[in-house]
Amino acid sequence: MTDLILRNPDLPEPQGMYDPAFEHDSCGVNFVVDLKGRPSHDIVVTGFAALCNLQHRGALGAEVTTGDGAGMLIQVPDRFLREVVDFELPPAGDYVTGIAFLPREAAAAAEAREQVEKIADTEGFVVLGWREVPTDPSMLGRGARSTMPSFWQPFFAMSGVGGDRLERRAYMLRKRIELEVTFETDDVSDERAMGGRARKLSSAYFPSLSTRTFVYKGMLTTPQLTEFYPDLADERVESALAVVHSRFSTNTFPSWPLAHPFRYIAHNGEINTVQGNKNWMRAREALVASDLLDGDLDRIFPTCTPGASDTASFDQVLELLCMGGYSLPEAVLMMIPEPWENHESMPDDLRAFYRYHASLMEPWDGPASIAFTDGRVIG
């Protein structure tokens, strides 16, 4: 249980009938896309409007200014970033960026950034610079504010490496950072239970770290998203797609890292088989191999972060499959197959597809609506 608390400092320790290992959520999810792939700020604006229309699907705390979570995934806004950073960026697709949730204390955040840079160096990356992401927490309730991290945007590049290969190297880097970069934070669960203050060990968390996609999310209500992240209201922030989500953490607690979207998906529903799915993934990690992923894969395991929700775990496995060479549509259908065994009118080739993949992975089963994207396609 120690490992679980390390990864999710916002969540209480097991008590009564509650155990953070069984985090589920039931939410609102939507996406908008330009079918010709033309980036514009209109897509971001329309995505936010869609998000606000999902407010009834999200949950609020006892104080209405603390939400269970809201967020938006867009393409990396290259033109905007070039105009707001004070260092030179390589061509689009040849650098990696994202948002890091780091400790609020300035000294601890600086130490965490130093740890990140050391790991990036060992993975062959050059650190181009950092940007402190502008935020306005003035509208947040006490619950959201008390667990709020600081928000830092790193920029990495790798000499002679770009495109899909750089995306895969960024995946390896992020997994290592989240497993290895730790710092002390306030123990919020202790404060909830005992009315006091304590310290606990926490991990760095990246909503995204990619050449293609960028995630703004947090323990917010839907209307708070663009107020909290002023970037999203800037007309220079453009994208050809936007995935949005409003979280209802059914029978569980909200958390900044557990807001959606994740790196590939946003999800409404519950994956009822998640504990078995995670156990199977842990068991098969000794057999995982890919010519597309460099170095010893043990440095990025476990695939499913201890204490992560059902959606977060699904997203982590989907990401591994895509990084290992599966196309996004194939990986999604492998994980969530339609009922095929007794489907009398299913075409033979589709039945054969499902039968083959059933030998590779058990289904992640449960009532679910999932929007998925890798920044290039969306479904």
Contacts of 296 (CB under 8 A, 6+ apart): none
- Letter for the amino acid at 282? R
Q: Specify whether the CB–CB gap between 191 and 204 falls below 8 A.
A: no
Bridge partners of residue 378, in order along the sequence: 373
> Which of helix, strand or coil describes residue 115?
helix
**Helix/strand/coil for 42:** helix
**Run of H or E including 151:** strand 150-157
Instruction: Quickly tell me which residue has 């402190």 as its tokens.
Output: 132
> Is residue 27 flagged as an active site residue?
yes
Choose, from 27, 52, 304, 322, the residue flagged as catalytic: 27
How many Cβ atoms sit within 10 Å of the Cβ of residue 117?
14
User: b/e for 214-240, b at 16 or more Cβ within 10 A?
Assistant: bbbbbbbbbebbbbbbebbebeebbbb
3-state secondary structure of 221: coil
Separation between Cα atoms, residue 39 and residue 236, nearest integer Å: 10
What residues are labeled active site? 27
